[in-house]
């Protein structure tokens, strides 16, 4: 079937007659120090082919030895996705020929995967409450292939090079059920999946370096019908934007074909980021037959109940559970909890700063406001915050206790950022305390009233707007240290 040129669509809602059915296959590179079946380093960016050995080069007679840490991370991912962990799973050879695959096969798992039958919650569609659970079909362990390099060399016109540093790096493939119904849901699913992998510390999920790769299966069917349409697989969706663009384009393209009386057939298409379109890579007739068979060089992978429980006990609190707890216990709005779980380091900072605080919302506001602004200005990430979490909660305590005003807190915060001192130290050194003693406030007010008889007269004759001026004078007289709420309250009493 020929690919059809259609204009790039902007929205899928323009075709209410069809319902998209989408499933994602996501490859996640595990962040183990060594490869899946040999001791070679997995470090990214090393000189080409410097991190190889007979095993990952596929030399005859070399035997694979399974990396226990890779299994532990795969089990952790499976458990966090609510999957059943198979006590016994089988490695299989996936046979195909490609220059970056020196063995001629990839060690993967086929009919007996490590984990099956889980789910991942995504936020419900706009306007709806709660969550939508996307089924997880399976999570299996496999090894990566090498990387072909088609440019960057003087003779790249004529030759391609192969870098096998990536050959044998451990991956998990996470396959979803076809439960996604729009490009937006697919996007939200990938966001949540990436977040989960980051919080579990099983991958750095760096899309530029290929640590997170996504393929999509998409079909459409008339709304209200149950039978699936012809499944089209789209490859090479290596950014969140590409995923959404490719799905939008593909759904529109399929609808055009059906509306034009055409038929769709199962095929694999490749997304081209430059044109924003997909084109045929291979049809069903050209589909690979991988001739899977059990890997004879590796015994079945056994995960004992004791080991599985040990891994389960070590799982960190998952981001969704964290958000719900912060909403429940700290009374944070859902929006705040989303912002504050944007990365594991930010979530850890928030936990440390707001965890024991009497006013977690006050602390959250400082993190999302002034501290985030400071971090951005300094180009820092949350693993190196310029203010200790305990100092931030102390600052909020001082404001809440009336020791310092909100305005003073801003100045103290600036000092904290530059010299790393605690707010109490800064207050003690500068003597900058808020004046909250009514007697002291009254003394200031007496002076202000005596110096401004005209304004006092105006206020008493009904021009109450002049109060703001008098408050300002009192704040000035106290060099900004008077408690503004108290000044206002006492002033009103005196003028009454
Ligand atoms: Zn190796």
* 161 contact partners, CB below 8 Å, separation of at least 6: 48, 148, 149, 153
pLDDT digits (tens, 9 = 90+) for 390-427: 999 999 988 888 788 888 888 889 888 888 888 888 87
Per DSSP, the three-state class of 385 is coil
Measured in Å, residue 98 CA sits from the centre of ligand 1 at: 19
Domain boundary among 277, 306, 335: 306
Of 172, 181, 144, nearest to 77 by C-alpha is: 172
Measured in Å, residue 104 CA sits from the centre of ligand 1 at: 16
Measured in Å, residue 52 CA sits from the centre of ligand 1 at: 4
Does residue 191 carry a pLDDT above 90? yes
Tokens read off for 44: 């990214």
Q: How confident is the model at residue 449 (pLDDT cuts 50, 70, 90)?
A: confident
Of 91-100, 253-262, 481-490, the least confident: 481-490
Q: Is residue 10 part of a domain?
A: no
Q: How confident is the model at residue 496 (pLDDT cuts 50, 70, 90)?
A: confident
Residues 122 and 227 in one domain: yes
Does residue 462 carry a pLDDT above 90? no
Residues 181 and 279 in one domain: yes
Measured in Å, residue 242 CA sits from the centre of ligand 1 at: 33
Measured in Å, residue 162 CA sits from the centre of ligand 1 at: 15
Question: Is residue 390 within a helix (H) or strand (E), and if so which, with residue range?
Answer: helix 389-400
Residues 347 and 252 in one domain: no
Measured in Å, residue 380 CA sits from the centre of ligand 1 at: 35
Measured in Å, residue 167 CA sits from the centre of ligand 1 at: 8
Measured in Å, residue 297 CA sits from the centre of ligand 1 at: 16
Averaged pLDDT of the chain: 88
Please list the alpha-helical segments (H only) found in 124-266.
183-200, 240-259
Distance CA 411, CA 417 (A): 10
pLDDT digits (tens, 9 = 90+) for 63-86: 999 999 999 999 999 999 999 999
Domain boundary among 306, 335, 363: 306
Q: Is residue 312 part of a domain?
A: no
Does residue 10 carry a pLDDT above 50? no
Measured in Å, residue 72 CA sits from the centre of ligand 1 at: 20
Beta-strand runs (E) in 297-382: 301-302
Domain boundary among 306, 331, 362: 306
Measured in Å, residue 37 CA sits from the centre of ligand 1 at: 7
Phi and psi at residue 195, to the nearest 5°: -55, -45
Q: Is residue 4 part of a domain?
A: no
Measured in Å, residue 58 CA sits from the centre of ligand 1 at: 9
pLDDT digits (tens, 9 = 90+) for 331-377: 999 999 999 999 999 999 999 999 988 899 999 999 999 999 888 88
Distance CA 263, CA 254 (A): 9
What is the rounded average pLDDT of the residues 311-317?
96
Q: Is residue 13 part of a domain?
A: no
Tokens read off for 157: 């016109």
Residues 302 and 324 in one domain: no
β-partners of residue 138 are: 116, 175
* 17 vs 5, residue with greater confidence: 17
Residues 406 and 379 in one domain: yes
Distance CA 134, CA 123 (A): 10
Does residue 27 carry a pLDDT above 60? yes
Domain that includes residue 359, residue range = 317-430
Distance CA 141, CA 90 (A): 10
Residues 166 and 85 in one domain: yes
Count of structural domains within the chain: 3
Q: Is residue 8 part of a domain?
A: no
What is the rounded average pLDDT of the residues 259-277?
86
Highest average pLDDT, of 187-196, 368-377, 475-484, comes from 187-196
* 445 vs 12, residue with greater confidence: 445
Measured in Å, residue 342 CA sits from the centre of ligand 1 at: 35
Measured in Å, residue 40 CA sits from the centre of ligand 1 at: 4
Distance CA 77, CA 453 (A): 73
Distance CA 109, CA 139 (A): 9
What is the rounded average pLDDT of the residues 132-137?
95
Q: Is residue 226 part of a domain?
A: yes
β-partners of residue 122 are: 132
CATH code (residue 463): 1.10.10.410
What is the rounded average pLDDT of the residues 278-293?
80
Tell me the CA distances in angstroms from 271 to 208, 236, 247, one per residue in order: 16, 6, 9
Distance CA 247, CA 182 (A): 8
Helices 183-200 and 68-80 pack at an angle, to 10 degrees, of 130
**The tokens 């990387």 sit on which residue?**
147
Measured in Å, residue 173 CA sits from the centre of ligand 1 at: 21
Query: Would you state the pLDDT for residue 15?
Result: 52
Measured in Å, residue 169 CA sits from the centre of ligand 1 at: 9
Q: Is residue 224 part of a domain?
A: yes
Measured in Å, residue 42 CA sits from the centre of ligand 1 at: 9
Residues 219 and 343 in one domain: no
Measured in Å, residue 100 CA sits from the centre of ligand 1 at: 14
Beta-strand runs (E) in 79-182: 84-85, 88-89, 91-95, 105-109, 115-123, 131-143, 147-149, 161-163, 170-176
Tell me the CA distances in angstroms from 475 to 210, 406, 491, one per residue in order: 58, 13, 12
Please list the alpha-helical segments (H only) found in 290-419.
305-314, 319-329, 334-340, 344-354, 360-366, 372-378, 389-400, 406-419
Residues 344, 358 contacting (CB under 8 angstroms): no
Sign of CA dihedral 404, 408, 412, 413: positive
* 369 contact partners, CB below 8 Å, separation of at least 6: none
Measured in Å, residue 351 CA sits from the centre of ligand 1 at: 40
Q: Is residue 105 part of a domain?
A: yes
Of 5-14, 95-104, 242-251, 381-390, the least confident: 5-14
Structure pTM? 0.82
Measured in Å, residue 294 CA sits from the centre of ligand 1 at: 21
């Amino acid at each position: 079937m020929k690919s059809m040129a259609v204009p790039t669509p902007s929205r899928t809602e323009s075709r209410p007659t069809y319902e998209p059915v989408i499933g994602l296959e996501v490859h996640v590179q595990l962040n183990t120090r060594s490869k899946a079946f040999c001791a070679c380093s997995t470090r990214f960016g090393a000189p080409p082919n410097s991190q190889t050995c007979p095993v990952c080069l596929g030399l005859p007679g070399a035997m694979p030895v399974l990396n226990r840490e890779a299994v532990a991370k795969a089990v952790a991912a499976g458990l966090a996705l609510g999957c059943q962990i198979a006590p016994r799973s089988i490695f299989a050879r996936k046979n195909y020929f490609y220059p970056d695959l020196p063995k001629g096969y990839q060690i993967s798992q086929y009919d007996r995967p490590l984990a099956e039958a889980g789910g991942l919650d995504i936020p419900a569609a706009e306007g709806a409450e709660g969550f939508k659970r996307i089924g997880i079909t399976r999570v299996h362990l496999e090894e990566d292939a090498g990387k072909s390099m088609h440019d960057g060399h003087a003779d790249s016109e004529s030759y391609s090079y192969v870098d096998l540093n990536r050959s044998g790096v451990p991956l998990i493939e996470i396959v979803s059920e076809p439960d996604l119904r729009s490009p937006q849901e697919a996007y939200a699913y990938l966001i949540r999946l990436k977040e989960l992998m980051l919080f579990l510390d099983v991958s750095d999920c760096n899309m530029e370096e290929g640590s997170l790769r996504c393929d999509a299966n998409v079909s459409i069917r008339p709304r209200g019908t149950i039978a699936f349409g012809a499944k089209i697989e789209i490859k090479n969706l290596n950014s969140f934007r590409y995923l959404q663009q490719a799905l939008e384009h593909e759904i529109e393209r399929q609808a055009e074909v059906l509306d034009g009386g055409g038929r769709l057939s199962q095929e694999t298409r490749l997304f081209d980021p430059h044109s924003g379109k997909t084109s045929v890579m291979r049809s069903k007739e050209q589909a690979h037959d991988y001739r899977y068979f059990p890997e004879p060089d590796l015994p079945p992978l056994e995960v004992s109940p004791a080991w599985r429980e040990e891994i389960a006990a070590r799982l960190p609190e998952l981001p969704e559970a964290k958000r719900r707890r912060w909403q429940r216990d700290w009374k944070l709005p859902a929006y705040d909890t989303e912002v504050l779980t944007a990365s594991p380091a930010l979530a850890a900072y928030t936990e440390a700063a707001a965890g024991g605080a009497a006013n977690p919302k006050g602390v959250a506001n400082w993190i999302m406001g002034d501290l985030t602004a400071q971090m951005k200005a300094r180009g820092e990430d949350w693993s190196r915050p310029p203010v200790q979490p305990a100092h931030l909660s102390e600052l909020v305590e001082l404001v809440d206790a009336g020791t310092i005003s909100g305005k003073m807190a801003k100045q103290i915060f600036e000092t904290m950022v530059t010299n790393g001192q605690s707010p109490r130290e800064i207050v003690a050194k500068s003597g900058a305390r808020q004046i909250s003693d009514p007697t002291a406030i009254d003394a200031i007010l007496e002076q202000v009233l005596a110096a401004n008889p005209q304004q006092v007269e105006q206020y008493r004759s009904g021009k109450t707007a002049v109060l703001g001026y008098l408050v300002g004078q009192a704040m000035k007289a106290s060099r900004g240290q008077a408690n503004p709420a108290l000044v206002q309250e006492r002033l009103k009493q005196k003028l009454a």
